[in-house]
Chain A
Amino acid sequence: MLIVWGAAFAWVIGYCSTNAYSAAGKEPIKLVLGFPAWVFYGWVIPLMIANAITLWFCLFFMQDEPMEELPEEDNV
């Protein structure tokens, strides 16, 4: 999980630091599907990939474990 975070971090911050901060002043602005180009590559794409990883993780990776019964006497 921390690896995923690290990868996302590297991508978003890495990509945006070079592209987002230099995007001003260029005309015409580059658009991808109506988003500013850096938003599309620096945010939309990693968002989708992170979602895909989450999906995979939850559906196939994580094991079900039986939860233990509550020790009742502890509860009042």
Chain B
Amino acid sequence: MYSSLLAASAGNTALIAFTIYIVFVFILAGLANRKQEGRSFMNEYFLGSRNLGLWAFAFTYAATSASGGSFMGFPSLIYSHGWVLALWIGGYVVVPLVAIGLIAKRLNQVARKSGSITVPEMMRKRLGSTTVGNVGTTLLIFFQFFFLLAQFKAGAMIMTTLLDDVAVFQQAVNIVDHWTDPIPWIGQADGDYLICLLVFSVSVVAYTAWGGFRAVVWTDVMQGVIMGLGVMIMLVLALIQLGGLGKATQEISRQTPPLKGKATLHLEQKTKHEILLKKGTWIELTGAHTPTHKIYLRTSERAIIDAKKTTANLAEKKKVKESKSPTHIPIIQLRTPVENSVELASIKRELSEQELPKLKATLQGNLTPYAFGATKKGAYVSAPGPHSSKATGFLPLLLAVCFFTFWPFAGSGQPSYMARQMAFRDTATLRHSIIFVMVYFTLIYFPLIIIFTSGRVLLPGWEIAPDRIMPEMATYLTSSAGAPWLAGLLVAAPFAAVMSSVDSFLLLVSSSVVRDVYQQNINPDADERTMKKISYGTTIVIGALAMLAMLNPPDFLQDLIVFGSGGLGASFLMPVVLTLYWPKLTARACIAGMISGGGTMGALYLIGFIVNGKFGEYNLWGLHPFVWSIAISTLVIVLVNKISKPTDSKLVEKFFGKNA
């Protein structure tokens, strides 16, 4: 009872915190909208008049890059695979320097000289070829849209978790479910997801369209502050409750990965009411304890025991239909070493909070161990990290090499960051921003790893749903510190992360459509008012399209993100860098580079789809597709450059000076 009350109050505080948050966002958008008056609309709406000061630039850069992945996907990876994630993210140590330092200054200058607003536009003007711009725009919109889709889903998912325990919300869900059921396509989605998706999309699209770039930047600043604060608070709370980092690491080093299997669950005595066994119900395997380990089971599906019966069945009807034996409930088995006092205490606490009559579990069939690291002590504190299905572990050395390359360079290849870099005021701003971004990244990623490896000790057994570890940790840490209202702020952090990414990408895609497609090819002479209408229109239409596409979301969220950002990096990194620094680059070579980079990425994913039967990358010779794409793109550019005719020398002179 205590725990459910706690959850409900945490849910309500989350709702209140969330509402306050949204209201603030809209106030900012309104202010930004008023600031637009009297300035060149296009420049202001899409670039904030190229006038970003230090704080705005740094925060907007950091907040855009900290997307839903950093606060949902990354913690769940840390939790599942342990300290090896430090190596996975290792490339980040040089990200601020490489990603911003490499191109920002030059990019900003070239963009100013040519008066460009978008990345493809900058390339078009620098190389004097419309085709470059058009190819760039097409690739940009294509890959960016994938990325946008993933973020929409992440946003809606976080909201669902947030509002799960709020009574008003549950009622609304029932009503929506009832309404939408007969409608094809929409009816297949769950009611709670639909509501959240709708609220999320409408609010993001509304404030982005209303306030434009300036609103996005201002809200990014606020969101950045929330994220930073949230992580810091969690770190302090986690360390206090663990009794120090050393103790936690000791405990983790003794952990071995759980076993997966099935079990039948029986009541010792019949009851009059039906009993619902939530996903994640703990059961102590009595009599099975060895002197060194205690053994616990945890359910990984919801189950139900009907009134006056003793055996549990799977609760979800769809799952019952699919399963041959609905009494075999999927479980995981934890073997906790007896020295792990903090971990055992956590399990005991959760057992005692369950308030269920006594249950007996019988294992059915064999338990499946992890494919890598199954019985290995110290699997969680060493590389390559345990993995449930890959026999080579989570991060074989070659992949580690790839990720070390991926982070800094894929990061600098993202057009959304490039757009940011076109907007700062002067180089002093840039210099201080790099420092700021560096501090910010260190303060986010460093603690995240500590917090969520510790999560293995404080909240064991979340292998059943690792994506939920972030909100669960937030709720647990704050409520055991006696301040459940704080959970609202902490859970707002990942939400802020998603929102700040979505708004930037939304604006980026619509700026491409308006500037590079409409103004370039359809109606170059449109006046200010028409442009304004069209800009608002595209922002809204694109948001609506993304929402419609995501009504029935695919499962492969993280793959979608990597595909989108990898594709963008592959298509733009080398072409843009060379456009900026290599006077001899030709338009043809640039086009070839973009297409071959993006194409390689697409092809390797297509092969992955054919080989594995599901959406995912194909690691040719153990290397990530991104590495291949960059290599091929560079090669193609150099080759094509040799055979194509040089760019107009006047253009080269304009951007590189006389001596070039």
Q: In the complex, what distance in Å separates the CA atom of A57 from the CA atom of B430?
A: 12
Contact check: which of A21, A29, A43, A70 meets B112 at CB < 8 Å? Answer: A70
Interface size class of A (residues with CB under 8 A): 35 or more
Please report the total number of B residues contacting A with Cβ < 8 Å. Answer: 64
**Chain A neighbourhood of B98, CB < 8 A:** 1-2, 4-5
Question: Tally of A-B residue pairs with Cβ under 8 A?
Answer: 170
Q: Given A34-B246, A58-B431, verify A16-B400 contact (CB < 8 Å).
A: yes
In contact, B426 and A67 (Cβ under 8 angstroms): yes
Q: In the complex, what distance in Å separates the CA atom of A17 from the CA atom of B26?
A: 49
**Chain B neighbourhood of A25, CB < 8 A:** 376-378
In contact, B426 and A75 (Cβ under 8 angstroms): no
Q: Given A31-B249, A35-B249, verify A42-B87 contact (CB < 8 Å).
A: yes
**Chain A neighbourhood of B90, CB < 8 A:** 12-13, 16, 42-43, 46
- 8 Å CB interface, A42-76 against B: 42-43, 46-47, 50-51, 53-55, 57-59, 62-68, 70-72, 74-76
Contact check: which of B43, B108, B438 meets A67 at CB < 8 Å? Answer: B108
**Chain A neighbourhood of B381, CB < 8 A:** 23-24, 29, 36, 39
Nearest CB of B to A45, in Å: 10
Q: Given A5-B98, A55-B438, A58-B435, verify A43-B378 contact (CB < 8 Å).
A: no
**Chain A neighbourhood of B40, CB < 8 A:** 72, 75-76
In contact, A58 and B93 (Cβ under 8 angstroms): no
Nearest CB of B to A27, in Å: 7
Contact check: which of A13, A22, A28, A53 meets B404 at CB < 8 Å? Answer: A13
**Chain A neighbourhood of B425, CB < 8 A:** 67
**Chain A neighbourhood of B384, CB < 8 A:** 21
Q: In the complex, what distance in Å separates the CA atom of A17 from the CA atom of B432?
A: 34
- 8 Å CB interface, B379-415 against A: 379, 381-384, 397, 400-401, 404-405, 408
Contact check: which of A23, A24, A36, A68 meets B113 at CB < 8 Å? Answer: A68
Nearest CB of B to A52, in Å: 10
Q: In the complex, what distance in Å separates the CA atom of A46 from the CA atom of B575?
A: 30
- What are 9 A-B pairs with beta-carbon distances under 8 A? A1-B97, A1-B98, A5-B408, A12-B90, A26-B378, A29-B249, A39-B86, A46-B90, A70-B50
Chain A residues engaging chain B, CB cutoff 8 angstroms: 1-2, 4-5, 8-9, 12-13, 16-17, 20-29, 31, 33-36, 38-39, 42-43, 46-47, 50-51, 53-55, 57-59, 62-68, 70-72, 74-76
